[in-house]
Amino acid sequence: MGASRRIGLYGAGLAAVFAAALAVGGAVIPEQTVQDWNQTPEEHDMEAAPEHGGHAPAATEPRGLGIEQDGYLLGAVTAPTGTGTPGTLAFTVTDAEGAPVTEYERSHEKDLHLIVVRTDGTGFQHVHPHIDADGVWSLPWEWETAGSYRVFADFVPAATGEDMTLTRTVEVSGETTATEPVAPSLTDTVDGFDVALEGELHTGESSPLTLTVSRGGEPVTSLEPYLGAWGHLVALREGDLAYLHVHPEGAEPEPGETSGPEIAFATTAPTPGRYLLYLDFQVDGQVHTAQFTVEAH
């Protein structure tokens, strides 16, 4: 028998075996399973998404761990290099084409929220710079203490409508003092106000958190709207300062309306561990910031 004829018979035998295997497989493997094997990852994700009738897992990925996202880049941050020197903090956000972004969607009454905090969790500031016609964000700035700082830009580009948080590190020269590790704390006193946090932070599921404001032992019922809510809460993961998205609960306050003493939020921890929480609230036109440390399980 010639070599070509032997190869042909061998190939025919393999085809027969393969056909038989398919017949048996069809009998014991559900058709849907076979279809799932043949799906692309994109097709599988579409079927799992809620708008397609599936149940996508809760989004728990932290933000604010890099200078770039989806082509948007937080440019170099310029600021005074040492403490006690007044100056300007400035930066630009560019798009995938390298062009400065000048159009933003308002989120919590602002086009951009700037969070600045030292890497040990101290020196927290939540401010709102101004943008010029060239897309440069800036505001007057002076560092009180030396050290390594994280600068977070939280914004929504008008071109995408997607909320994003970008970050850079800024080094401030000068004499630094060591700080003790932050201990868990569910209460804080700031400017004569006592603020208590109730609720537990869980991983993989939304956790309700309630903060109660009092002064002199009496509940504060004169909380004023701040950034479109009764308060603004920022949560950072200790260690890498990953930025968590925290949602205020309840209806948006009306202009001139007051509330209190409770402010409700909901958030999800991406991993177990310790988290730093910062609450901004407003009374008599003055914004105060309370700080807490919680363990997520």
In this prediction, residue 247 carries a pLDDT of: 81
65 class by beta-carbon count within 10 Å (0-12 exposed, 13-18 middle, 19+ buried): middle
Cβ neighbors of 136 (< 8 A, separation 6 or more) are 90, 91, 92, 100
In this prediction, residue 60 carries a pLDDT of: 52
Q: Are residues 194 and 290 in the same domain?
A: yes
Q: 265: closest CA among 247, 245, 241, 242?
A: 247
Q: Which of 36-40, 134-138, 237-241 has the highest mean pLDDT?
A: 134-138
Digit-coded pLDDT (tens) for 179-235: 776 778 999 999 999 999 999 999 989 999 999 999 999 999 999 999 999 999 999
Q: Are residues 42 and 91 in the same domain?
A: no
Residue 57 domain-assigned?
Answer: no
Q: Is the pLDDT of residue 284 over 80?
A: yes
Cβ-contact 90, 137 below 8 angstroms: yes
What contacts 24+ positions apart, CB below 8 Å, involve 57-63? 58/204, 58/205, 58/206, 58/268, 59/268, 60/203, 60/204, 60/268, 60/269, 60/270, 61/270, 62/237, 62/242, 62/243, 62/244, 62/270, 63/164, 63/165, 63/242, 63/243, 63/244, 63/245
Q: Are residues 151 and 206 in the same domain?
A: no
Query: In the numeric block, which tokens belong to residue 44?
Result: 């599988």
Residue 182 domain-assigned?
Answer: no
Residue 79 domain-assigned?
Answer: yes
Peptide bond into 100 cis (omega under 30): no
Cβ neighbors of 270 (< 8 A, separation 6 or more) are 60, 61, 62, 203, 237, 242, 244
The model's confidence at residue 39, banded by pLDDT at 50, 70 and 90, is very low
Q: Are residues 192 and 277 in the same domain?
A: yes
Question: In this structure, what CATH number is given to the domain that contains residue 91?
Answer: 2.60.40.10
Q: Cite the DSSP H helix spans in the chain.
A: 3-28, 31-38, 41-48
Q: Are residues 22 and 82 in the same domain?
A: no
Q: Is the pLDDT of residue 40 over 50?
A: no
The distance in angstroms from the start CA to the end CA of the chain is 72
Domain boundary among 148, 172, 196: 172
Q: Is the pLDDT of residue 133 over 50?
A: yes
Residue 282 domain-assigned?
Answer: yes
Higher pLDDT, 53 or 290: 290
- Measured distance CA(262)–CA(244) in Å, rounded: 21
Residue 19 domain-assigned?
Answer: yes
Give percent of the chain above pLDDT 70.
Answer: 79
Q: Are residues 167 and 244 in the same domain?
A: no
156 class by beta-carbon count within 10 Å (0-12 exposed, 13-18 middle, 19+ buried): middle
Q: How many domains does the chain have?
A: 3
Q: Are residues 194 and 283 in the same domain?
A: yes
Q: Is the pLDDT of residue 252 over 60?
A: yes
**SS3 track for 197-211:** EECCECECCCEEEEE
Higher pLDDT, 136 or 5: 136
The residues pairing with 116 across neighbouring beta strands, listed in sequence order, are: 125, 151
pTM (predicted TM-score): 0.77
**How many C-beta neighbours within 10 Å does residue 160 have?**
13
Residue 147 domain-assigned?
Answer: yes
Residue 178 domain-assigned?
Answer: no
Range of the domain at 159: 68-172
Q: Are residues 285 and 191 in the same domain?
A: yes
Higher pLDDT, 52 or 252: 252
Tell me what the pLDDT averaged over the chain comes to. Answer: 83
Give how far Cα 152 sits from Cα of 110, 243, 261, 272, Å: 15, 8, 29, 22
In this prediction, residue 176 carries a pLDDT of: 81
Helix (H) or strand (E) holding 237: strand 232-237
In this prediction, residue 64 carries a pLDDT of: 85
- Measured distance CA(291)–CA(186) in Å, rounded: 9
Degrees, nearest 5: CA angle 34-38-39: 115
